[in-house]
Amino acid sequence: MVRVTHWITTLCFFALLLSGVEILISHPRFYWGEAGNVLTPALFVLPIPASRSTVPTGYGYVLPDQNGWSRYLHFQAAWAAVLTGLFYAFYGLFTRHFRRNLLPSRRDLSWRSLSGSIANHVRFKRPGDGEDRSYNVLQRLSYLLVIFVLFPLVIWTGLAMSPAVASAFPFAVTAFGGQQSARTLHFFVSIFLVLFLLVHIVMIFLAGFRNRMRAMITGGARGQGEEHA
């Protein structure tokens, strides 16, 4: 079940990323606070052309505008991801998946063990025997960060941009300092998620692509049939 939710989330993530980029290029300027537009100073501006002619970018051309379906897709994929995430969270609590597979043991969190794991990673040491079946401490910490910090934050900052949600739950917006702040943070959290994805993919290749993919698709690592589902 964890594997099923993983692949649904993967699909949603790519849909959100693609549509998110499409929405972003209609106004590649970022602000801090409640409001911001082309007449007010920007916090920073991405050096790319825009898909709307109303944004002065310095480029002589306008990118194709794909905002309509991108917005529909973004929110549909967000719903699918949130519902999958909720299911995963309850399932993980109920089956003790988080405690067994994601929460590092106290011993693993000692400075010695952590520095040992970091040293192994820096030297690109191949995973040891035990690591074929379970996650190492750095893996556990980064998965916990993504699942319990970055995902909730990207959902929250996304909701904080909604005028209807802002009217019903003003604190969801004021906590960030305004709707434009939420938009800027939404962008940065997304960048962190993309960085995680890149490292995640590189690690799969370093650890043995075929074996890891088989484990994540069928649940068995090297045919040993260890049940991870």
Distances (CA, A) of 162 to 17, 22, 76, 170, 189: 19, 18, 15, 11, 17
Helix axes 2-24, 67-94, angle to 10 degrees: 150
Cβ of residue 181: shortest distance to other proteins, in angstroms?
Answer: 11
Cβ of residue 93: shortest distance to other proteins, in angstroms?
Answer: 23
Q: Which of 137, 173, 215, 221 binds other proteins (CB under 8 A)?
A: 173
Continuous segment of H or E residues that includes residue 30: strand 29-30
193: closest CA among 81, 45, 53, 51?
A: 81
CB 157 within 8 A of CB 185: yes
Nearer to other proteins, 165 or 207 (CB): 165
Per the listing, tokens 């480029």 go with 59
117: closest CA among 128, 101, 102, 129?
A: 128
Q: Which of 1, 4, 44, 54 binds other proteins (CB under 8 A)?
A: 54
Cβ of residue 193: shortest distance to other proteins, in angstroms?
Answer: 19
Both tokens of residue 171?
């604190």
Q: Which of 7, 79, 90, 209 binds other proteins (CB under 8 A)?
A: 79
State the CB neighbour count (10 A cutoff) for residue 13.
18
Distance between CA atoms of residues 95 and 79, nearest Å: 24
Distance between CA atoms of residues 65 and 50, nearest Å: 9
Is 67 an interacting residue with respect to other proteins (CB under 8 A)? yes
Nearer to other proteins, 169 or 192 (CB): 169
Is 69 an interacting residue with respect to other proteins (CB under 8 A)? yes
Cβ of residue 72: shortest distance to other proteins, in angstroms?
Answer: 4
Per the listing, tokens 């063990």 go with 113
Q: Which of 1, 4, 21, 38 binds other proteins (CB under 8 A)?
A: 38
Q: Which of 3, 8, 26, 153 binds other proteins (CB under 8 A)?
A: 26
CB 165 within 8 A of CB 175: no
* Footprint of other proteins on 175-204 (CB under 8 A): 179-180, 183
Interface stretch with other proteins, choices 73-81, 112-120, 190-198, 202-210 (CB under 8 A): 73-81
Is 170 an interacting residue with respect to other proteins (CB under 8 A)? yes
Is 24 an interacting residue with respect to other proteins (CB under 8 A)? yes
List residues near other proteins by CB under 8 A. 23-24, 26-27, 29, 31, 34-40, 52, 54-55, 67-69, 71-73, 75-80, 161-168, 170, 173, 179-180, 183
